[in-house]
């Protein structure tokens, strides 16, 4: 019986999260701009309405 391991290395996980955060930052920035809001805190994605 074979088992597959779906583990992600620590380096790859950090790289994936970095890419995801960068992408989501752009998306939230565009959404805030469209609604005439601003992103106040980038770490917690706090949006000022």
pLDDT tens track, the chain, 49 positions: 555 667 878 888 888 888 898 898 888 888 878 888 777 766 666 666 6
Cα(6)–Cα(30) distance, integer angstroms = 34
Question: What pLDDT was estimated at residue 27?
Answer: 87
**Joined tokens for residue 1:** 């019986």
Q: Which of 46, 45, 48 is nearest to 24 (CA)?
A: 45
Give the count of beta carbons closer than 10 Å to the beta carbon of residue 22.
10
Give the residue extent of every domain in the chain: 10-48
Cα(24)–Cα(19) distance, integer angstroms = 9
């Amino acid at each position: 019986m074979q088992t597959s391991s779906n583990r992600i290395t620590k380096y790859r996980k950090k790289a994936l999260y970095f890419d995801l955060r960068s992408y989501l930052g752009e998306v939230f920035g565009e959404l805030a701009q469209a609604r005439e809001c601003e992103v106040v805190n980038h770490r917690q994605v706090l949006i000022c309405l």
